[in-house]
Structure 1
Amino acid sequence: MPTSSTILPRRFSLLAGLFAFCIAFVLTGCDDSSVGMDDGEETIEAPETYTFMRDGESSVSYSGQTDRLNMVAEMKSYLGQGDDGEEISEDVLLAMFTNEGGDGGGNFSFTSDRQLRNKTFAPDRDADLFEGFFAEAAAASENGAQGITATDGTAGLLERGSGSTILVDENGREFTQLVEKGLMGAVFYNQIFNVYLTDDRIGPDVENDELEEGENYTAMEHHWDEAFGYTAAPVDFESGWSEDTDGSLSYWANYSNTVDQQLEGTNDAMMEAFINGRTAIVNGNTEAKNAARDALYEELELITAGTAVHYINSTQSALDAGETGDAFHALSEAWAFVNAIKYSPNRNLTIEEIETIKGEQFGANGNFWNVTPASLNEAKATLVEAYPELEPVQDAI
């Protein structure tokens, strides 16, 4: 368990935001004409869970985000066939990415009018980053189907300590992780930070007086909810969360919980920021909303960096045990989480530092076969220096 000094900087930041929330509430909370409230409607107090009601019905909706979470889950399942030594199709992955025909070209178990590609970080979309992964994965799966073991310079299968296999490229990167964790960054993380938490979606010019036609929320409320939806967090998510509490976690909520097990308070900090921000929007409290947004930028980036350190540690442990497949599995995840930091507009790392970690410290020339304990320690040191909250738990996380 971390000491009180471990969480003091994060807690100080969170308390500062809550202080701003309370001060702003006092100054504006009794103004019934505040944006986000109907005439005569009273201000609300922050609920214990992410549950907001209006006229006895929920005012929260993020079905589009849920659809995209499910799309990534089913893409991961399909990619898993390549891990099992079966051939996979580039066309199938493209159809799922663009949601061809509303059901991923017949490959989704559900229908939706949403897609992943049009929500992908624009530079990645313009560079066809994921399309490149799909083509490479399909080609590598031909080797996998022939039972070809991956080696330096040759894509194929690598056996893990459990006896399962993973499909990797010629540099040892696992395709399932590049796609799943990559989309967590390029779509989910990107949409939270660069779309839904921006002034274009929750700023002063966004409608927060009138409800959307046929809906029980204002435009600003809905945009904040959509940011929350991309975390995949249960509405009652909290620190100390157990998998027995309410089933398994996924995506950003899962990795917040991973970090929370050592850097205690991560889950609470994220949820309090989301709940306080949504409360502030209902109350028309701009200062409190902005304080909550600032806290989210800080907390979600810390979760990302902490998860990267977690997988660097896992990589080192696997290398020490001589388990190359396990090492490259963990390193592929570390690569994707470090890469995700670039999507934060307030990131503590420069693009140059991110590229150095991915392209040199995770193996010279971007090749995992070249990774060394020393280079892993360099990557870890870079992350811990940028996120000093991780220093006390850097070896345990």
Structure 2
Amino acid sequence: MKFKNVLLAALPVLMLTFASCSDNNDEPQEEQITVLPYTVPATYDFSRNTTTSVAHDDQKTRILMLTEINGYITSGKDNPLTSTKLAQMYANTNAQFTTLSLVGIAPSINLKDKTATSIGCFNGGNTESTAVQGNFQSTFDVAVAASQTGATASAGVAGKNGTRLYGADGLEPGQVVAKGMMGAHFMDQVLNNFLNTVVLDAGDNRLNNANKVLVAGKNYTEMEHAWDQAYGYIYGAGLNASNKPYFWDSYIDQVSSQVTSFNVLKTNIKNAFIKGRAAITGNDYAVRDQQIAIIKENFSKIPAIRGVHYLQKGKADLANGITAFHGLSEGYGFIMSLRYTNNPATNQPYFTKAEVDVMLGKLSGGTVSQPGLWDVDHIGAKIDEISNQIATKFGFSVSDASQG
């Protein structure tokens, strides 16, 4: 007979037990895997033989690496930065990190090698991957120039204004790096790599997971670990010294608190991660794949909503000159992230690289005398055009995204 799979509702997470089986010998070998009884816990807590089977240390490490890089760029308002240090932090060479847990981390664990290298979008690395990584290095160079010039930032002149660094086009390199890397590295790895069934089901992963064949010396299967790594890029670092979450975890909270229509996003994403992981322990790959679709759809909305939010915030501040550039820079970074979203209906990004490049070009174009964001006489219309384009694609209103 065929599987009689029991499907889990998206909300809420319930403490329920499921079972299913198959004895049809005519089906492919993978389709005869027995779905075992399994429990969906209230939190992301999974163990085997009383020991946790969850591991995402490398993802926590990379989150902390980006945190330190971001802090170093911010320090450029007081002290000149160096391109060499930023390049070496990005590639984790020559032991540049000072965060205690990062000291001594092997160079193989770094931000650069996983930037725009998902299996789903980049086949593990291609010419676009190289170009994206080079763009981040160029942004590091902008930050260095702004920290060293001694000039006050102005149209066409990189420099400082208050506590912030600005490129000649008015963009804050720190915001471009932080938000851009959240997309090109973290989101890409989550949606287009570790939650890609090509990765989850690679080789004999389905059968090995069903038979609970563990990775040598570890307490998890390959499939469990892939799922945990996706989870780790969002939630793996926990809370910072100020008791606040990092990067995507923080912005998921912020979006979910903006308006009622966005309230479910946080719960949808977290619950789908929990249900999908529970389904893996029970070999219930149909339910696992349903949760992947939920995560892709809901997580992809976060940079879209937050990008529109910051664009509109910047637009409201345009009359105040450079004050507007902080919000616009954040919006710019989140638009970069749209390249790495994933529409579960097509298994492709919601916006293509070409579409994202056009949007970014509208923000960073300007004129010779008023480059990029300095082109305040015309950028307002461009902001609305981009905002409406993004909101229409994802089915929310610009007004709702502007709240909070």
TM-score by length of 2: 0.80
2:371 matches 1:369:
no
How far apart, CA to CA, are the structure 1 residues paired with 2:363 and 2:224?
42
SS in 1 for 2:351: coil
Query: Could you list the per-position Cα deviations for residues 238-281 of structure 1 after superposition, in whole angstroms to 9, with x for gaps in the alignment?
Result: xxxxx99x921111011111110121111101101111110111
How far apart, CA to CA, are the structure 2 residues paired with 1:200 and 1:69?
25
Q: Please name the residue that 2:120 is paired with.
A: none
Q: Please name the residue that 1:9 is paired with.
A: none
Larger RCO, structure (CA 8 Å, separation 6 or more) = 1
Instruction: Work out the number of aligned pairs and report it.
Output: 357
**Contact (CA 8 Å) 2:63, 2:237: kept in 1 or not?**
no
How far apart, CA to CA, are the structure 1 residues paired with 2:358 and 2:36?
52
Say if 1:381 and 1:317 are closer, same or farther in 2 by CA, change over 3 A: same
Q: Please name the residue that 1:97 is paired with.
A: 90
Q: Please name the residue that 2:139 is paired with.
A: 133
SS in 2 for 1:100: coil
Give % identity: 28
CA RMSD of aligned residues (A): 3.2
2:246 matches 1:250:
yes
How far apart, CA to CA, are the structure 2 residues paired with 1:395 and 1:340?
18
In the TM superposition, residue 18 of structure 1 has moved relative to its aligned partner by: 7.0
How far apart, CA to CA, are the structure 1 residues paired with 2:129 and 2:142?
16
Q: Please name the residue that 1:240 is paired with.
A: none
Say if 1:271 and 1:95 are closer, same or farther in 2 by CA, change over 3 A: same
Say if 1:276 and 1:64 are closer, same or farther in 2 by CA, change over 3 A: same
Q: Please name the residue that 1:10 is paired with.
A: none
Query: Could you list the per-position Cα deviations for residues 284-306 of structure 1 after superposition, in whole angstroms to 9, with x for gaps in the alignment?
Result: 01111111111111111111101
How far apart, CA to CA, are the structure 2 residues paired with 1:126 and 1:134?
15
Q: Please name the residue that 1:117 is paired with.
A: 112
2:198 matches 1:200:
yes
**Contact (CA 8 Å) 1:92, 1:107: kept in 2 or not?**
no
Q: Which consecutive residues of structure 2, in runs of 5 or more, have no partner in the other structure?
A: 1-6, 24-28, 117-124, 343-347
How far apart, CA to CA, are the structure 1 residues paired with 2:48 and 2:79?
50
**Contact (CA 8 Å) 1:305, 1:383: kept in 2 or not?**
yes
In the TM superposition, residue 389 of structure 1 has moved relative to its aligned partner by: 3.3
Say if 1:126 and 1:42 are closer, same or farther in 2 by CA, change over 3 A: closer
SS in 1 for 2:156: coil
How far apart, CA to CA, are the structure 1 residues paired with 2:363 and 2:328?
11
Q: Please name the residue that 1:224 is paired with.
A: 227
Q: Please name the residue that 2:277 is paired with.
A: 278
How far apart, CA to CA, are the structure 1 residues paired with 2:365 and 2:47?
51
How far apart, CA to CA, are the structure 1 residues paired with 2:188 and 2:237?
20
In the TM superposition, residue 350 of structure 1 has moved relative to its aligned partner by: 3.5
Q: Please name the residue that 2:179 is paired with.
A: 181
Q: Please name the residue that 2:351 is paired with.
A: 349
Q: Please name the residue that 2:122 is paired with.
A: none
Q: Please name the residue that 2:387 is paired with.
A: 380
How far apart, CA to CA, are the structure 2 residues paired with 1:232 and 1:17?
19
How far apart, CA to CA, are the structure 2 residues paired with 1:91 and 1:29?
58
